[in-house]
Amino acid sequence: MLVENKKRNKQYSENISIKSKASKPVVENLEYENIQEDKSDHKYTNMGQVLINLNVSEANILNYSNKIVNQIIADSKDMAWNDFFYWLDARFSWVFAHSINVAVLSVMMAVKRGCKKEELECIALGGLLHDVGKLLVPASIIQKKTSLDDEQMSRVKEHCEHGMSLVEGCGLSDNCKAIIIQHHERLDGSGYPFGLKSDDIHPYAKIAMIADVLDAITSYRPYRPAKSAFKAIQIIRDEGDKFSAEYVSVIERLLGEQST
Ligand SMILES: [Fe+2]
Ligand SMILES: [Fe+2]
């Protein structure tokens, strides 16, 4: 399937136009028509490889969190946002793999904090969709193998607001949407898109922002190798007041010996 998707990706144009309606998201691009038929049978490329580089100390929490995330994907089949999973995986499979990891890591932290199942499901869905707005950023920027210039970086930063416009009318809860719009905010006000400070940032977004950075640092990128979880935690801690110290401690404990 991975090879198949790579072939398909070559057909994609830079001018993808995706919009959401009150009922169901619609993808408008003639070049996509020939691959929409088999969408219902689509097997996501990176399922089963979640967190493969991380040594999670509490396997039961990892397994439970994986189960919640996989169930949300399965249960989304008839939901308005389901197309976004498909398009993320088809267009940028690594972004979808990252989204799964962010969802699982976020749910793990939330389990540890005693969240209820409904809360875990909301966090899982928010994690899966947190970067959905990247579908509206040109592929040449998302897939660029070298560092981005200021203009390109500002296009990437638009993905939080793009995400909100894409999911408008999909019926997501405000708690879930908080992850999409706020996962790049930072507690000291240095984040984007609004520069919110600690008290104004939703607790779910405080969880997701750590999962997001942790997965990014521990994953391979064309312009740098993957770093260890230990190094990732160090980098996050060195950021001082940007991240919730409470949640950083939670993920540190969850990642066990490897990160201590
Ligand atoms: Fe993001
Ligand atoms: Fe992300």
pLDDT single digits (tens) 118-156:
999 999 999 999 999 999 999 999 988 888 999 999 999
Distance CA 232, CA 74 (A): 31
Ligand 2 centroid vs 127 CA: distance in angstroms? 8
Ligand approaching nearest to the C-alpha of 159: 1
**Which residues lie at CB < 5 A from ion ligand 1?**
131
Range in 1-15, 182-196, 240-254 with the lowest mean pLDDT: 1-15
Ligand 1 centroid vs 39 CA: distance in angstroms? 25
Which is the catalytic residue, given 134, 177, 206, 242? 134
Q: Name the burial class of residue 53, with classes exposed (0-12), middle (13-18) and buried (19+) by CB atoms within 10 angstroms of its CB.
A: middle
- DSSP code of residue 42: -
Contact 169, 20 (CB under 8 A): yes
CATH topology of domain 57-140+150-259: Hypothetical protein af1432 (1.10.3210)
Contact 170, 184 (CB under 8 A): no
Cut 0.85: pTM above it: no
Give residue for tokens 């490329």. Answer: 45
> How many helices (H) and strands (E) in the chain?
13, 2
Range in 32-36, 64-68, 97-101 with the lowest mean pLDDT: 32-36
**Among 211, 179, 183, CA closest to 106:** 211
Ligand 1 centroid vs 241 CA: distance in angstroms? 19
Ligand approaching nearest to the C-alpha of 162: 1
Ligand 1 centroid vs 21 CA: distance in angstroms? 23
Domain ranges of the chain: 57-140+150-259
Distance CA 247, CA 245 (A): 6
The distance of Cα 4 from the centroid of its chain, to the nearest Å, equals: 23
Structure tokens at 186: 């930072």
Find residue 59's DSSP bridge partners. none
Residue 247 has pLDDT above 50, yes or no: yes
Residue 257 has pLDDT above 70, yes or no: no
Ligand 2 centroid vs 106 CA: distance in angstroms? 12
Ligand approaching nearest to the C-alpha of 105: 2
Question: Is residue 134 among the annotated active site residues?
Answer: yes
Q: Name the burial class of residue 81, with classes exposed (0-12), middle (13-18) and buried (19+) by CB atoms within 10 angstroms of its CB.
A: buried
